[in-house]
């Protein structure tokens, strides 16, 4: 082999190795993405977003359920905002030099009461929607009543990083 043949062979080998490396990286990234999606589908109900639960419904009722529960979430939003505000006020008071334990307790009580009002509204509206559904759809949507805690699911198409859809069980 002459020098030119060796250079061509070396360039071809480098190109082939780079191609193989890129293909391997693509395979690993793609596999991780597929595994993440599969895991997301098999998570416990409390880990799934509201929209994922609703997507499992019969298409004929999906929009009505989504619209009704979104309206319920909009109506409950002031209660949850009040709960967050009261909690922030209590936290600020604890950090200030004017710490007043009685006032902090009152603010926390008001925060809990506002959150419970919001949750009660969401749950009552959810039960009303469930009463209108067929047994299969009702069973699929029943997951919204088992959710606990704050589950925020980021949606790529979502505005300002807010959770995707109302969190009916929160």
Per-residue model confidence as pLDDT tens for the chain (170 residues): 788 889 999 999 999 999 999 999 999 888 888 887 777 666 554 555 667 777 777 777 888 888 888 899 899 999 999 999 999 999 999 999 988 999 999 999 999 999 999 999 988 998 998 898 888 888 878 777 775 544 444 444 444 444 444 444 44
Q: How far apart are CA 70 and CA 76, in angstroms?
A: 10
Residues 51 and 163 sit within 8 Å (Cβ to Cβ): no
Q: Is 38 exposed, middle or buried (0-12, 13-18, 19+ CB in 10 A)?
A: exposed
Kindly state the tokens that stand for 131: 């009463």
Kindly state the tokens that stand for 118: 């919001």
The structure's pTM equals 0.56
Beta partners for residue 154, in sequence order? 163
Report the 10 Å Cβ neighbour count for 71.
Answer: 12
Place of tokens 């419904």: 57
Q: How far apart are CA 3 and CA 9, in angstroms?
A: 10
Q: How far apart are CA 107 and CA 116, in angstroms?
A: 14
């Amino acid at each position: 082999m002459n020098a030119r043949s060796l250079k061509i062979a070396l360039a071809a080998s480098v190109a082939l190795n780079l191609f193989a490396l890129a293909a391997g990286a693509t395979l690993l990234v793609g596999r991780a993405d597929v595994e993440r999606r599969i895991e997301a589908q098999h998570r416990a109900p409390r880990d799934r977003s509201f929209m994922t639960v609703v997507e499992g419904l019969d298409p004929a009722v999906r929009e009505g359920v989504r619209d009704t529960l979104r309206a319920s979430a909009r109506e409950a939003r002031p209660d949850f905002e009040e709960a967050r505000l009261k909690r922030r006020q209590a936290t600020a008071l604890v950090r200030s030099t004017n710490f007043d334990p009685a006032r902090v307790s009152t603010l926390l009580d008001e925060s809990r009461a506002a959150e419970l009002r919001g949750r009660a509204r969401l749950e009552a509206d959810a039960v009303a929607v469930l009463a209108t559904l067929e047994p299969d759809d009702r069973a699929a949507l029943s997951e919204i009543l088992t959710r606990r805690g704050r589950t925020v699911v980021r949606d790529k198409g979502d505005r300002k990083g807010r959770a995707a859809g109302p969190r009916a069980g929160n």
